[in-house]
Chain A
Amino acid sequence: MFSKRESANLLLSMIEKISLIFGYISGGFAFLMMFIIGYDVVMRHVFNNPTIWADEVSCYLLVGITFLGAAYTLNKDGHVRIETLVDRLGPKTRRRLELVTDVLSIIFLVIFTRQAYWLVKDSYSSIKISATLLRTPLYLPQLLLAVGLTWLSLELLAHILRRTINSQVRSSVHRVITEETEQEKRSNE
């Protein structure tokens, strides 16, 4: 039987694992993009027969790298922020401020994600297609945006929860240690 905390931790590490998988997929996208454009260059300049899809697909790959990779980037603390002032605060105030900013961020991200799904739904129901020879149904690449943002929100939620759980663990460990030392003191006396 798992305790409550263990199962929560399991869930959180599962979210993080999936973020990592998305990160790997985005890495694969970057690799693919290099070869797609390389192939297009050869077709264009050597065989004088450029592809009709390379440019468009690489745009979609860029969207994929950006948003599917966003959760992984958050996990590695890769999204830039200004830490000059925050670094000067005491650890306790700093933790509180981080909680406030993270909660604000998650509210924003949830709204953002909802709008992304709305965009996908709109493109799907009004059958929007790209104005190119490829005629891609736009909801497909737009799904990358929506899924990526969903996972970014979940990753941030996991980030907040993990820190709260850990700080609870730390404070309970702290209590145990202080109690033990007090007991030792008493026994020494």
Chain B
Amino acid sequence: MSLCVTVTLMVLVLLILLFSGVRVGFALGMVGLLGLVFLLPGVRSPERMMGNLAWSAINKFPLTPVPLFILMGELLVLARMNETLYGTLSLWLGNVRGGLCHATTVSCAIFAAMSGSSLATCATLGTIAGPEMLKRGYSKSITYGTISAGGTLGILIPPSITMIIYGNLAGVSIGHCFIAGVIPGILCTITFIILVDIWARMRPNSIPATEPIKMSLKKKLFSSVRMIPPMLVIFFVLGGIYLGVTTPTEAGAIGALCAFFLCLLQRNLSWTTLWQVLLSTVRTTSFIMVILAGASIVSFVTQYLRVPELLTQSVINLEVSPYIVMTLFYVLYLILGMLVDPVSMMVMTVPTILPTVIMLGFDPIWFAVVVTLACEIGLITPPVGLNLYILRGVSEASLGEIALGAAPFVITLILNLAILTVFPVLSLWLPNMM
């Protein structure tokens, strides 16, 4: 059987399993097991490798930041950091046209600098900012579009769980990946703000002009005091990584401890809430790691069959411009993003595609940013966009309404993807200074 047929068959089996609702980690493991048994000739009882593969896939020091950053994000949500950020920013920006949208976007961006995932941000702002924006007369589409898109910043702006997974798969420094996401993250935030402004000008009735609420400067400054603790947390976590003082693991532990003491100080913590936070951390960590364990078995088989090398070889033989190849990869990622979650997307594609990308002359750190951006798009495109589902869960809007509101943001993100591809320096400047 030729290799092409084998690989197609593996992909096909995987897709059938995934779409019939087998849990992603198990589906990957099953395909891996089939591969081990049928595709490794001359190896006695090849399924024996499964245990060792799964063990060495998880028993890895570079993966230890994952539970720590998840715990940190959960604790900060418990400390009502989102509410604090949104409350303060909406005081400052409330009277600008579309101000509450900007407040949402910016507080998502700042919260993203303290949390590694996008779902918590999306859920909390959906419950806090959503009702208030609707009450002030913002249309449903612009409200939920902004919240769902703002939530996606969580995985681009460091710390980021998807970047940790990427760093592990690609064997590059996680700290560099983190820092590479800073400028693209700010770029996305700015483009979101510009988009909302244009939207407000083109469709004036989606954002009604309201009576400006008078607020004394003293009161505004007083409420801004509450921004100090989150800023300190960001400083400790990202500053430590950027200056090379702490490893990502240490930064995660410091951040989680800061968040823990913040919760203690604000008296948000009881035994019940602490266990809720810890159990939720376990759920997220376990689902990500089980996917990684399953994927490690498939990766072993594809590496054994030399699929990455052969892909690289065939791309060389095509003799087309690297940008055309990258565009094809982006299209693949956009389609995958519609169907699966970011972590599964990473583990299924990066080990196979990355050698080709490097051969085409691109930087693996730059690719971390681009892939993450593609994952962000996947979070807000139907049918499977996790942020859309989360918002539907906390609001009364239908999936269609939310997806429609998110559509302009998808286009903005694709534009950003193009900008970052043409100007890789935007991603690489900061990590090169480290």
Contact = CB atoms under 8 A, between A and B. Distances in A.
Contacts of A67: 58, 286, 290
Contacts of A59: 59-61, 63-64
Given A63-B58, A105-B22, A105-B23, A115 B48 contact: yes
A83 B59 contact: no
Nearest to A101: B22
Contacts of B315: none
A76 to B, nearest CB: 6
Contacts of B26: 79, 105, 108-109
Interface stretch (B104-112, B122-130, B189-197, B339-347): B339-347
Interface stretch (A1-9, A32-40, A163-171): A32-40
Interface string A29-66: 01101111110110011000000000100111011011
Given A33-B67, A86-B20, A109-B26, A41 B51 contact: no
B228 to A, nearest CB: 22
Interface in A64-103: 65-67, 69-70, 72-74, 76, 78-86, 97-98, 100-101
A157 interface: no
A112 interface: yes
**Chain A interface mostly helix, strand, loop or mixed?**
helix
A119 interface: yes
Contacts of A84: 19, 339, 383-384
Q: What interface size band does chain B fall in?
A: 35 or more
B260 A66 contact: no
Contact of B286 (A40, A58, A70, A116): A70
B51 A69 contact: no
Contact of A34 (B17, B19, B260): B260
B278 A80 contact: no
Interface string B16-49: 0111111111100110010000000000000111
A171 to B, nearest CB: 23
A21 to B, nearest CB: 12
Given A28-B278, A62-B59, A86-B20, A78 B54 contact: no
A127 interface: no
B425 interface: no
Interface string B49-81: 111101100111101101110010000000000
B291 interface: yes
Given A78-B286, A115-B51, A85 B279 contact: no
A101 B66 contact: no
B278 A108 contact: no
A40 B68 CA distance: 14
Interface string B253-281: 11011001000000000000001001101
A145 interface: yes
A45 B245 contact: yes
B291 A66 contact: no
A111 B279 contact: no
Nearest to A74: B23
Most B CB within 10 A of own CB, among A34, A65, A67, A69: A34
A34 B261 CA distance: 12
Interface in B224-248: 245-246
A66 B23 contact: no
B384 A104 contact: no
Nearest to A100: B20
A139 to B, nearest CB: 11
Contacts of A100: 20
A79 B275 contact: no
A105 to B, nearest CB: 5
Given A60-B59, A112-B50, A73 B283 contact: yes
Interface centre among A55, A66, A70 (most CB of B within 10 A): A66
B285 interface: yes
Given A34-B257, A104-B22, A145-B55, A66 B290 contact: yes
A123 B60 CA distance: 18
Nearest to A62: B64
Contacts of A60: 59
B287 A38 contact: no
Q: Which 6 A-B pairs have the closest CB atoms?
A: A27-B278, A119-B51, A37-B253, A66-B289, A69-B282, A115-B51
Given A65-B289, A86-B19, 17 more contacts: A26-B286, A30-B282, A37-B252, A40-B250, A55-B64, A58-B61, A60-B59, A62-B285, A78-B286, A81-B18, A81-B23, A84-B384, A86-B21, A101-B21, A105-B30, A108-B26, A119-B51
6 contacts: A23-B282, A30-B282, A37-B250, A40-B250, A69-B283, A120-B51
